[in-house]
C-alpha cells in the first residue's frame, strides 16, 4: 500500500545519483537520518532567532505606520513572515490589510492582500476559502490589467485544484500561468509553474515527463538564485524517486531539501519533507523509524496549522500501523484523516484514506466494510484520473507544445521574412543601379553621336573659317563657345 507524500508547489541531473535500496546499505540510511537530525537541531536555533527578529522589526514598523499604503504593505509582509509559523496570526494581519486597502481604495494592494489571505487559508487546509479569495484577487488584476498579477493567480488557482485532486483543471491553470510567465520573462514564476506541472505528471505516474519539468524548473531556479524554490523541487524529485523504489536517492534529495528549508526557516516545508522521509523509511521496511518521523511531522504541522498536511500524515501512520497489524491504532488515525479531509474538501486525502481503510478491514476479515471503502476510493479515483481526464491532460500538454512550436515557427518565419526583405531590397537597389548605368550608357551614346556630329560640324567650320576674312573671324571669336562651368 502506497503512502502519501507531501508535494511542494510553489533538476539538476548532477544531483540525481542512482542508488537502489533493494540492495541498500543500512549504515548509509542510518547516517543519512542522523545527519538530517543533527542539521535540524543546529540550524533551528539560529533560524528561529532570525525569524523572530524580522517579525519584531515588522511589528515595530506597524506601530509607527500611518493609515496609508505603507501600513498595508507592512501588514502583508507580516502575514507572509508568520504564515509558516503562526498561520492564525498571519490570517489576522492579511485580513487587516484587505480592510485597510478597501477603505483607502487601493485596488492593486487589495489584490495583493487577497492573495496573501488565500495563501494563509491554503496553509490552514481551508481550500474553498483559499480559492474564493484568489478569485477576488484575480478579478481585480483583470480589471486593472495587471498581467503579473493574473499570471500569479492562474498558478495559485492551479495549486488549489491540485490539492483537491482536480488534476486536469490544475494542469490547465498551470499551463496558462506558464504562458503568461514566459511572455513576461518572469523566470521565478516560470520555474514555479514548471515545478507544478511536474507534480501533475508525477501523480499520473508519468515519471519521465515529470522529471523533465522538474529539471527545467530547478535549472531556472539555480540561475536566479531561488533557494526556497530549489528546496521545493528537491523535495518533489525525492518523491519521484521514492515512487520508483529508489529509496536511497529519495533520501539524498530530501536531505538537501531539509537543510535548505531549515536554513531559511520554512517550517511548513520542513513538515512536508520530514513526512516524506518517514514515508521512504516505511517503504524500505523501517516501520518503527518511520512512525517517529511521522510524529515529528505532525508536531511541526500542528505548530503551523497545516490541516491538509496533518490529514496526509495520519493516513501514512494508519498505513504503517496496518502493516504492524495494530488495527485499532490504524483505524484511529485513518478516521481522523477522513474527518479533516471532509471538512477541508481534500479529495486526494479522502481517496487514499478510503483505500487504506479498505486494506485494514480486509486484514481484519470485515469484507463488507472493506468493499464499502474500496467503492468510495474507486469513485473518487475515477473522478480524478479517469481516461477522459488523462486524454484532456494529454490534449492540454499538446496545446502547450504546439504553442511552443508555433512560437518557434513564427520566429523562424519572421527571420525568413527579414532575410527575404533584405534580398528584395538588394535586388531593388541592384535594379536601380543597373537602370542608372543603362540610362547613363544611353546618354553617353547620344552624347557621343552628338559629339561626332559636332566634330564634323567643327571640321566643316574650320574649312569655312580658313577662307573667311579676318573681320568675320574676329566676330566669331567674340561670340563663339562659352567658358566651362564648374560642376559640383
CA 399/CA 406 separation, integer angstroms: 10
Task: Dig out the grid coordinates for 58 from the structure.
Answer: 515588522
- Say whether pTM exceeds 0.85: no
DSSP-based three-state secondary structure for 59: helix
Which of 86, 81, 75, 143 is CA-nearest to residue 113?
75
H or E stretch covering 127: helix 127-143
pLDDT of the residue at 16: 24
Average pLDDT over residues 90-106: 95
Which of 152, 84, 94, 161 is CA-nearest to residue 123?
84
DSSP E strands in 206-318: the ranges are none
The residue extents of the domains of the chain are 13-303, 306-383, 395-460
pLDDT digits (tens, 9 = 90+) for 308-359: 999 999 999 999 999 999 999 999 999 999 999 999 888 889 999 999 999 9
pLDDT digits (tens, 9 = 90+) for 176-209: 999 999 999 999 999 999 999 999 999 888 999 9
Q: Return the axis-axis angle of helices 347-363 and 367-384, rounded to nearest 10°.
A: 150
The answer to whether the beta carbons of residues 298 and 312 sit under 8 Å apart is no
| 13-303 and 306-383 have identical folds | yes
State the CATH class of domain 306-383.
Answer: mainly alpha
H or E stretch covering 265: none
Instruction: Report the greatest alpha carbon distance in the chain.
Output: 149
Positive or negative, the CA dihedral 103, 106, 111, 113 is negative
pLDDT of the residue at 426: 53
Task: Dig out the grid coordinates for 281 from the structure.
Answer: 523509511
CA 80/CA 122 separation, integer angstroms: 13
Please tell me the CATH superfamily of domain 13-303, with its number: Tetratricopeptide repeat domain (1.25.40.10)
The dihedral region occupied by 285, where left means phi > 0, alpha psi between -120 and 50, and beta the remainder, is left
Which of 286-300, 369-383, 437-451 comes out lowest in average pLDDT? 437-451
256 to 8, 85, 193, 213: CA distances (angstroms): 14, 21, 22, 19
pLDDT of the residue at 324: 96
pLDDT digits (tens, 9 = 90+) for 209-238: 999 999 999 999 999 999 999 999 999 999
| DSSP-assigned letter for residue 94 | H
Whether 27 shows a pLDDT value over 90: the answer reads no
Amino acid at each position: 500500500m502506497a503512502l502519501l507524500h507531501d508535494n511542494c508547489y510553489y533538476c539538476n541531473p548532477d544531483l540525481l545519483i542512482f542508488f537502489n535500496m533493494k540492495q541498500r546499505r543500512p549504515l548509509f540510511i542510518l547516517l543519512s537520518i542522523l545527519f538530517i537530525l543533527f542539521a535540524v537541531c543546529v540550524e533551528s536555533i539560529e533560524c528561529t532567532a532570525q525569524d523572530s527578529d524580522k517579525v519584531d522589526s515588522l511589528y515595530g514598523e506597524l506601530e509607527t505606520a500611518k493609515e496609508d499604503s505603507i501600513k498595508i504593505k507592512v501588514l502583508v509582509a507580516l502575514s507572509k513572515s508568520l504564515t509558516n509559523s503562526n498561520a492564525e496570526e498571519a490570517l489576522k494581519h492579511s485580513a487587516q490589510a484587505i480592510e485597510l486597502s478597501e477603505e483607502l481604495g487601493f485596488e492593486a494592494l487589495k489584490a495583493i492582500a487577497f492573495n496573501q489571505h488565500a495563501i494563509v487559508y491554503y496553509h490552514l487546509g481551508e481550500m474553498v476559502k483559499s480559492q474564493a479569495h484568489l478569485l477576488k484577487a484575480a478579478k481585480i488584476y483583470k480589471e486593472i490589467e495587471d498581467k503579473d498579477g493574473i499570471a500569479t493567480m492562474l498558478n495559485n488557482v492551479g495549486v488549489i485544484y491540485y490539492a483537491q485532486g482536480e488534476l486536469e483543471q490544475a494542469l490547465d491553470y498551470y499551463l496558462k500561468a506558464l504562458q503568461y510567465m514566459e511572455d513576461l520573462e518572469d523566470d521565478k514564476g516560470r520555474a514555479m509553474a514548471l515545478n507544478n506541472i511536474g507534480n501533475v505528471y508525477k501523480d499520473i505516474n508519468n515519471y519521465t515527463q515529470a522529471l523533465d519539468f522538474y529539471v527545467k524548473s530547478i535549472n531556472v531556479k539555480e540561475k536566479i538564485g531561488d533557494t526556497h524554490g530549489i528546496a521545493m523541487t528537491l523535495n518533489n524529485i525525492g518523491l519521484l524517486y521514492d515512487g520508483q523504489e529508489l529509496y536511497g536517492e529519495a533520501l539524498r534529495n530530501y536531505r538537501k531539501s531539509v537543510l535548505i528549508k531549515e536554513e531559511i526557516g520554512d517550517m511548513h516545508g520542513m513538515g512536508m519533507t520530514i513526512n516524506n522521509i518517514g514515508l521512504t523509511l516505511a517503504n524500505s521496511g523501517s516501520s518503527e523509524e518511520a512512525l517517529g518521523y511521522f510524529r515529528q511531522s505532525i508536531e511541526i504541522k500542528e505548530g503551523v496549522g497545516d490541516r491538509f498536511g496533518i490529514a496526509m500524515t495520519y493516513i501514512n501512520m494508519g498505513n504503517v500501523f496496518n502493516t504492524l497489524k495494530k488495527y485499532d491504532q490504524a483505524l484511529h488515525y485513518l478516521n481522523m484523516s477522513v474527518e479533516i479531509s471532509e471538512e477541508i474538501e481534500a479529495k486526494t486525502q479522502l481517496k487514499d484514506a478510503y483505500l487504506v481503510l479498505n486494506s485494514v478491514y480486509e486484514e481484519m476479515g470485515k469484507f463488507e466494510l472493506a468493499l464499502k471503502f474500496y467503492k468510495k476510493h474507486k469513485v473518487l479515483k475515477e473522478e480524478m484520473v479517469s481516461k477522459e481526464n488523462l486524454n484532456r491532460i494529454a490534449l492540454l500538454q499538446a496545446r502547450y507544445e504546439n504553442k511552443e512550436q508555433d512560437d518557434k515557427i513564427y520566429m523562424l518565419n519572421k527571420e525568413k521574412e527579414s532575410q527575404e526583405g533584405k534580398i528584395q531590397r538588394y535586388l531593388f537597389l541592384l535594379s536601380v543601379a543597373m537602370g542608372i548605368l543603362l540610362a547613363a550608357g544611353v546618354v553617353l551614346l547620344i552624347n557621343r553621336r552628338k559629339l561626332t556630329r559636332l566634330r564634323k560640324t567643327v571640321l566643316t567650320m574650320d574649312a569655312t573659317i580658313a577662307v573667311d576674312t579676318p573681320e568675320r573671324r574676329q566676330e566669331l571669336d567674340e561670340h563663339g563657345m562659352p567658358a566651362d562651368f564648374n560642376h559640383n
